[in-house]
A and B are shown apart, each in its own frame.
Chain A
Amino acid sequence: MTETVRPLSSMRKGQKGVIDSFTDYELSLKLLEMGCIPGEIIEVIRIAPLGDPIAISVSGYMLGLRKAEASTVRVRMQE
C-alpha cells in the first residue's frame, strides 16, 4: 500500500482520503469555512449524472462542488 496525493477531482465514487492542502488560495477560503479542513476525512459520495459536479461527505454532511473546484483540493489516499 502506498500513499499518494492527488486532486479530489480525480477520485472515483466511493474513494476515501484525507484533505492535504489547497492549490487555490481564494477558493480555499470558501472551502475552509464549509468545513473542508486539512486533516479531515472526505469521501466521494456521488458524481452528478453528467459527470459534474460531485458530492462529497465532509465534516458530517454532504457538499456539492464542481470538478473545477475539486481540482484545487489535494487529497492523501492509501492505494
Chain B
Amino acid sequence: MSGKIKIALVGNPNSGKSTVFNALTGLRQKVANFPGVTVEKRTGYSNLKTDNGEILEAEIIDLPGTYSLYPKSPEEILPFQILCDPNNESHPDLTIVVADGTNLKRNLFLCSQILDLKIPVILVINMMDIVIYKKMSIDFEGLSARLGIPVIPMDGRSGKGLKELKKAIVQPLVSPVKDFIDVREFAPEVVDELRSIVKVDSNYNAFLGANNLHIISGFEMQQWKKDKITFICEKYKFDPQQMQARETLERYKVITLILKDHLKSLESPLQKSNSYKIDSFLTHRVWGYLIFMVVLFLIFQVIFSWASYPMDLIDSGFVTLSQFVRTSLPAGLLNDLIVDGILAGLNGIVVFVPQITLLFFFVAILEDTGYMARVSFIMDRVMKKFGMNGKSLIPLMSSVACAVPAIMSTRTIQNRKERLITIMVTPLMSCSARLPVYTLLIALVIPKGSIFGFNMQGLVMMILYLLGFVAALVAALAMKYIIKKKERSFFVMELPMYRVPRWSSIGIHLLEKVKIFLFDAGKVIVAISIILWVLSSFGPSGTFDSIEKKYQEQSSSGQIQQSEVPRLIQTEKLEASYAGKLGHFIEPAIAPLGFDWKIGIALITSFAAREVFVGTMSTIYSVGGDESAKLTIKEKMAAEVNPKTGGPRYTFAVGLSLMLFYAFAMQCMSTVAVVYRETKRIRYPLIQILYMSGLAYLASLIVYQLLKP
C-alpha cells in the first residue's frame, strides 16, 4: 500500500484530540483560516512508513469536538457533514476516534455511531496516564475483538502509543462489517427505501439522514434526492425525536454490556479526587469569584510588566535599523519608502508579538486546565441576567486575545438569542489589537509610578479592559430586550477534570497564533503603511513645489532662520498631502473629541484594523522630519506640540479620549466579516458598527469636554 490517505480525527470535547493531532503532525499544520485569525478545521500532514518501506502521505483533518452525530449546536455540524456526506471534499478514508479512557462509556457512544457509518475506524484510548492513576484496567484486545477495529492505548501527553497508532494507520483499510446496533429495526421502510432509491451507502447513514433533514439540505447532493428523502420520511411518518431517543438508549445498552466485560474500575467517589478538592475552592461562593478577579488582575499586570522588556528591545532595534538604512542608502524616495513606510509599519507589528504571545498563552492555559469551564459554571446565573449563557464567558474572555476566533467559539451556545447577543457584544471586549494603542497612549499620558504597590500604568490598562467588559454587559442587557426570539435556553456542559496544561500543545497553538498575526495581520498593516506613506508623501501636483519655493524665498530674504527651513517644509508638506487633506476633511467632526487631523488620519486607517494606529502614527511622524529616525514613536508623539495651546498635543484629556474611542469603536474588518459569516445577515455587522462607533464617539466627547483645560 502506498500513496495518499485522508484521515479525520474525531472525538468528544476534552478527549485530548488536539494532543493526538499535534503528536501525529508536529508542526506540519495548515489552519483553514479566515481573514484575521481562527481555527475551524485544522489540517495537518504526516508521512508514514508502511511495513514494506513505502511512504504513505496522510492528510489529517482535526474536527471540532462533538458528543454525537446529532448536531445540537452549530459547531457540531461540521463533523456530521464531513462524515455523513460521501461527496464532501473532506470525507475521510479512515477515521481516528479519540476517546477519553477515564470516561469510556460516553466516549464510545460517538465511536459506535461512526462504526455504523461503515467508515474504517481506529479507536485511540487516550489519557492512559489518568486511567492508570485511577487504577482502572481496560482489556484492549477484548475490546478490539468485540468492536472489530484496532484499539490503541495512548498517552498523548508523553507520546506513548504514537508508534502503535502510526503502525495501525498504514495497515490495509477495513470497513466495519457488523452493525453495532441495527437501526433498520427502528424504521425498516424508511431505511430500505432510502438505500434502494437514493442509494445511501449504509443503513445508519440513511437513518441519520432521515433524522437530520434540516442539515442534509446543505449536502452536495442532487435536489431530487433531497426531495425524495423528505418525501419518504413524510410517507412513513418518521418521528426524528423518538427515533433518536430509541437509538441512543440502544447504543448505551450495548456499550454497558461491552464495558462490563472489558473494563474494570474501582468505584472511586468523586469527592476523593483532587479535582473535587480544587473545585471546592474555585467554585466557592466567595473564593470562586475572588480568585477569578485575582487571576484576571495578575494576567494584566504580568502582560504589562513582562512584555515591556522585549518590547523596548524591539523598538530600539528598529530605531538602530532605521538609522542604519537612512545613512547607508543614498537619500531619496527609496530610502524614505523603506524607512518611513516599510520599516515604520513593520515596527508597528513586531513590537506587539511579546504581548500577544503572553495573552494567548494565558488564555490557552485557562482553557486547557479546565478552569474556563468552572468560570462558566459559576457565572451562568449572572450571564443569564444579561441575556447570555455561562458559555458566553468563554468567547468574551478569549476575545481579550482576538474577537474573530471568539465569535466563532460562540458556536457552542445552543440558544440562538443568547448566541446572537454574545456575538454582538464580544467585540467590545478589549482585544489584543487594542493593546498596542493602549500601551502607547498610557505610556504617553499616564505617569509611571505606583499606587498601593501596583504599577499605575498596569492599573489603567486593567480599568480599560474592565470598561470593555462592563460595556459588553450593558449592551447585552439592552439587546436582551430588543432582540425577540423565542427559543429555549440550554446550559448543559461537561466540567472536565483539572489537568496540567499540555505545554507542547500550547506551544504549537501559540506559534500558530503569532504566525497568523505576523503574516495575515502583518500583510494588511504593511500594505496600509505603504499606502499611507504614499498618501502623506505626495500631494496634488504643484502644491509641494510651491511650498518649497515659498520657504526658499522667505529664507533667502531672511524672514526665517535657514536651519528651520527643512522642518517647516516637511510639516507643511504633510498638511498639504493627500493624507493631510483627508485628515483635515474629517477634523471638524473629531475636533470636539480633542483630535486633530493627524489623529484623524490614524482613525481612518484604523477602520481596517486597530493596531494600524501605531503604525500610522509612526509613519505620519516619520514623514514629519529628518531627526525622526533617532526617536521612538512615543518620543515623537510626546514632543508633538499643539499649535493652539503651545502645550503638548497629547494631553491627559486627549489621551483618555483616544483610549476610550479605541475601547468602544468597531474598527476591525475581520470581525465585521466573521460576524456576517456567523449570523448570515448583513444587518448584524451593520448594527454592530453603528452602535459601537456611536458609543465610542459619545464616550470620547463626554470625557474630552469634561477634562479639557
Please give the residue numbers on chain A whose beta carbons come within 8 Å of chain B beta carbons, in ascending order. 25-35, 37-38, 43, 45-46, 48-53, 55, 57, 59-66, 68-69
Contacts and interface: CB of A to CB of B under 8 A. Distances in A.
29 contacts: A26-B241, A27-B488, A27-B490, A29-B248, A30-B72, A30-B492, A33-B68, A33-B70, A35-B106, A37-B248, A37-B252, A38-B249, A46-B279, A46-B283, A48-B283, A49-B378, A52-B380, A59-B105, A60-B103, A60-B106, A62-B496, A62-B497, A64-B373, A64-B376, A64-B493, A64-B494, A65-B491, A65-B492, A66-B489
A61 B289 CA distance: 24
Interface in B236-272: 241, 244-245, 248-249, 252, 265, 270-271
Listed from nearest, the 7 A-B pairs whose CB atoms lie closest are: A49-B285, A50-B381, A35-B106, A62-B495, A32-B248, A33-B68, A66-B491
Contacts of A63: 492-495
B109 interface: yes
Given A49-B378, A62-B494, A66-B490, 13 more contacts: A29-B70, A29-B72, A29-B245, A30-B492, A32-B249, A48-B377, A49-B284, A53-B377, A61-B103, A63-B494, A64-B373, A66-B380, A66-B489
Contacts of A34: 67, 106, 492, 494
Nearest to A29: B244
Nearest to B493: A64
A35 B105 contact: yes
A27 B489 CA distance: 10
Contacts of B491: 53, 64-66, 69
A34 B22 CA distance: 27
A51 B381 contact: yes
A73 B377 CA distance: 19
Contact of A48 (B67, B378, B489): B378
Nearest to B286: A49
Contacts of B241: 25-26, 29
A28 B284 contact: no
A28 B245 CA distance: 8
A36 B254 CA distance: 15
B384 to A, nearest CB: 8
Interface of B: 67-68, 70, 72, 102-103, 105-106, 109, 241, 244-245, 248-249, 252, 265, 270-271, 275-276, 279, 283-286, 288-289, 373, 376-378, 380-382, 390, 488-497
B80 to A, nearest CB: 13
Nearest to A50: B381
B382 A59 contact: no
B14 to A, nearest CB: 9
Nearest to B283: A46
A49 B494 contact: no
A72 B624 CA distance: 69
Contacts of A51: 381
Nearest to B376: A64
B38 to A, nearest CB: 26
Contacts of B495: 55, 61-64
Contact of A37 (B249, B283, B378, B492): B249
Contact of A49 (B102, B106, B289): B289
Contacts of A28: 245
A52 B491 CA distance: 10
A68 B286 CA distance: 24
A45 B494 contact: no
Contacts of A64: 373, 376-377, 380, 390, 491-495
Contact of A31 (B276, B376, B492): B492
A65 B378 CA distance: 11
Contacts of B288: 49
A57 B109 contact: no
A25 B248 CA distance: 13
A46 to B, nearest CB: 6
Contacts of B252: 32, 35, 37
Contacts of B283: 46, 48-49, 55
A69 B106 CA distance: 20
B106 A53 contact: no
Contacts of A48: 283, 377-378, 380-381
A43 B288 CA distance: 22
A61 to B, nearest CB: 5
Given A26-B241, A51-B381, A65 B105 contact: no
A55 B377 contact: yes
A35 B494 CA distance: 11
A27 B642 CA distance: 64
Contacts of A52: 380-381
Nearest to A36: B492
A65 B489 CA distance: 11
A27 B72 CA distance: 11
A10 B109 CA distance: 29
B411 to A, nearest CB: 16
A74 to B, nearest CB: 15
A15 to B, nearest CB: 13
Nearest to A58: B106
B575 to A, nearest CB: 58
Contacts of B271: 45
A67 B497 CA distance: 22
B270 A57 contact: yes
Nearest to B69: A33
Contacts of B105: 35, 59-60
Given A26-B241, A60-B103, A53 B380 contact: yes
A29 B70 CA distance: 9
Contacts of B270: 43, 45, 57, 62
Contacts of B494: 34, 61-64
A48 B488 CA distance: 21
Contacts of A65: 491-493
